[in-house]
Chain A
Amino acid sequence: MNFQATDRFNISDEVLSQEVNGETVLLDLQGESYFGLNEVGTRIWQLLKSEQSVAEALSTLSDEYDVSREQLESDVSELLAKLTEAGLVSLR
């Protein structure tokens, strides 16, 4: 799944999140399932919650992590695809 730089996402009302020791667990009440996010996934989730677009989120992550732009784009795209497929977020 490809995303546009200007895409923004809505987080489902059916999702609860809990940060624990730098990571995040998402509870999907609709599907009664849990998702674990690692440290980078947690940061992406925070940026999605703060209504940043894909481009804004990538820019923030580039400033914070010493990782190549290609790697970040791949990580963000992969996570967004998983979250969208699971119904936890949706395109605005």
Chain B
Amino acid sequence: MSDLFRIFDTTVCSDFPLPELPRVDGQDFALTVMMGKGDPDQFDSQGFERAFEWCDYEDRVDCWCDRKGDEYLYVFPQNATFHITSDNLITCFLDQDSSMQMLRHLLLNQIIPRYLATTGRLVLHASAVTLENGKSVAFLGNSGFGKSTLVSSFHRNGACLINDDCILLECGDNGVTVVGGLVGIRLFPDSVNAVFTEASGFTNYTPYTDKQQLFLKEQVGEKAPEPCVLDAMFLLNDPKKVSADEISIQPVSGSEAMMGMIGSAFSLDPSDRKMIVGNFKNVGQAISDRMSIYSLQYPRVHERLAEVRAAVIKQVESC
């Protein structure tokens, strides 16, 4: 028994429930997701070669991608393995010590965004909201830069969340449009407590991080997300490198904007020449397409979030 779900602009057929995503009707779909049989260790990886590794902040490898032609094997040790083939099929294998919630988290926030990049789409590690004045803005930055806390703060003060971690951009006649994947927020407990004042439905989703997640059911409903014009993008400063005491918003040069966006673009195999060229061209087109891009520096103090919101809103009013 399979159901259809919507993530970004793509309809997915899955043989297991994806409660984080809205269901859609119809028969057409672009991607199939299946649960594989057995433990990830039993997958026959003969012929695959290591394409790329990702390390954590202590330089330990915490994920890798093996490749055999157009087949990819994404391994998240102790959690899950994903086999991606060129016929648009993702087969998921759950580690016995992990959980389905963690597998879905990796599938929806890592694997599918990376898969979409292979189809020519531009998917960025960024958060985005539509403000009360109707303008949509995105915040670009690595993990730990404050993307989720910032959009959570906007969401709690009347903005409509597009996504807290991952967005898909498309260039069209009206400029750049943005669409999110799943509508949820993942925060560390201190930010949950600072931004959400009452019991709010956040749950732990993996024992490997203190981060908690919340899905905004009232916003998800059964309606697929609609793309909206992206009016501005803000590149967040690295709080560990630049400690800002004041809030500062400055226009960034074209090359600075492009380098920032390229560094945040998802890719299934970051060493693959075709994908590097694809992201390069897509980012170039997006920047040339009437979108305002700024740097945003601000003190990472929860008490100053209201000022940050006000500064962003004032800036985009001129876009």
A residues apposed to B, CB below 8 Å = 16, 18-25, 27, 29, 32, 34, 36-38
Contact = CB atoms under 8 A, between A and B. Distances in A.
Contacts of A16: 277, 280-281
Given A16-B280, A27-B277, A36 B287 contact: no
Contact of B276 (A19, A24, A29): A29
Main secondary structure on B side of the interface with A: helix
A27 B274 CA distance: 12
B15 interface: no
Given A20-B255, A20-B284, A32-B271, 11 more contacts: A16-B280, A16-B281, A19-B288, A21-B254, A23-B254, A24-B255, A25-B262, A27-B280, A29-B276, A36-B259, A38-B255
B256 to A, nearest CB: 7
Contacts of B283: 18
A19 B283 CA distance: 11
Interface in B189-246: none
B253 interface: yes
B288 A34 contact: no
Contacts of B255: 20, 23-25, 36-38
12 contacts: A16-B277, A18-B258, A18-B283, A20-B258, A21-B254, A22-B254, A24-B254, A27-B277, A27-B280, A34-B262, A37-B255, A38-B255
Contact of A18 (B256, B271, B284): B284
A22 B280 CA distance: 17
B262 to A, nearest CB: 7
B277 A20 contact: no
A83 B273 CA distance: 21
Given A21-B254, A21-B287, A21-B288, A34 B277 contact: no
Interface in B276-301: 276-277, 280-281, 283-284, 287-288
B280 A18 contact: yes
Most A CB atoms within 10 A — which of B253, B255, B259, B288? B255
Give the size range of B's interface with the partner. Answer: 10 to 19
A36 B281 contact: no
Contacts, number: 54
Contact of B281 (A18, A37, A38): A18
A23 B284 contact: no
Contact of A38 (B253, B271, B284, B288): B253
B257 interface: yes
Nearest to B255: A36
A27 B280 CA distance: 8
A20 B283 CA distance: 10
Given A27-B276, A29-B273, A36 B284 contact: no
A25 B252 CA distance: 14
A6 B262 CA distance: 37
A29 B277 contact: yes
Contacts of B257: 20-21
A21 B280 contact: no
Contact of B254 (A20, A29, A32, A34): A20
A32 B276 contact: yes
Contacts of A38: 253, 255
A76 B179 CA distance: 43
Contacts of B256: 36
A21 B288 CA distance: 7
